Amino acid sequence: MNLVLLTFCLVCGFAEGPDLDAPVDQSADRAVMIDPGHPTDPLDTLEFEGTIRARGLIGLMRVSGTLGFANGDLVWTAQGETDRGPYVVRARDGRVAFMADYTLPSGEPVRWTGFFDGARLMDVEVVWSRRRGDLVHDLMLPVEVTLDFTPEH
C-alpha cells in the first residue's frame, strides 16, 4: 500500500470514520465482531472495484483497486500489491459500519472505515499514519494522510 499511497498523497486533510466500540483483536482466528442485532456478516465474500484518492490540493491522481472482505479480513489490492487486516462490523442507522485497523509490513498503521447499505459501500476513507524518513514526502505530507475510496457503482 505504501507505494500506492506515496504515488498520489501529496496534500491531505484529516477525518474520522464511524466510531466502532469493539476493539479489533488481530490475534483472533476470525476478528469480525458482529453486533447481536446482526447475526451474520453481510460484507463477507464481497468485493468492490473502485478508486482511491488522497484528500487535498494535489490529490488529483486516482489509483484503481479492489476492496474486498474475506474470512474476517478487509483486503485492498492495487497495482499488484495486496494489504489485509481484520475488520469489525456494527449495525448503525439501518446500515452496516465497518472498520479495519491494522499495521502495514512497514510498521505504519492504517485504518479503513465506511458504511454498507446492503447494496453499496459509502463514505469509505483510509487514514494512513506514515513514518517519517523520506525527505521529499516529509516536506509535502502530513504524518496522517486521509484518502477516500470511491466504488465504481
Summarised one tens digit per residue, pLDDT across range 27-75 is: 333 334 444 444 578 899 999 999 999 887 667 788 999 999 998 999 9
What DSSP string describes 74-136? Answer: EEEEETTEEEEEEEEEEEETTEEEEEEEEE-TTS-EEEEEEEE-SS-EEEEEEEEEPPS--HH
153 pLDDT band (50/70/90 cuts)?
confident
Partner residues linked to 89 by β-bridges: 98
pLDDT at 138 (0 to 100) = 63
Domain boundaries, the chain: 2-21+28-151
Query: Regarding predicted confidence, which is higher, 134 or 85?
Result: 85
Q: Report pTM.
A: 0.71
Other residues' Cβ atoms within 10 Å of the Cβ of residue 14: 10
Place of cell 494512513: 128
93 pLDDT band (50/70/90 cuts)?
confident
DSSP 57: T
Query: Who's near 57: CB < 8 A, 6+ residues apart?
Result: 10, 11
pLDDT at 136 (0 to 100) = 60
How many residues are there in the chain?
A: 153
pLDDT at 83 (0 to 100) = 94
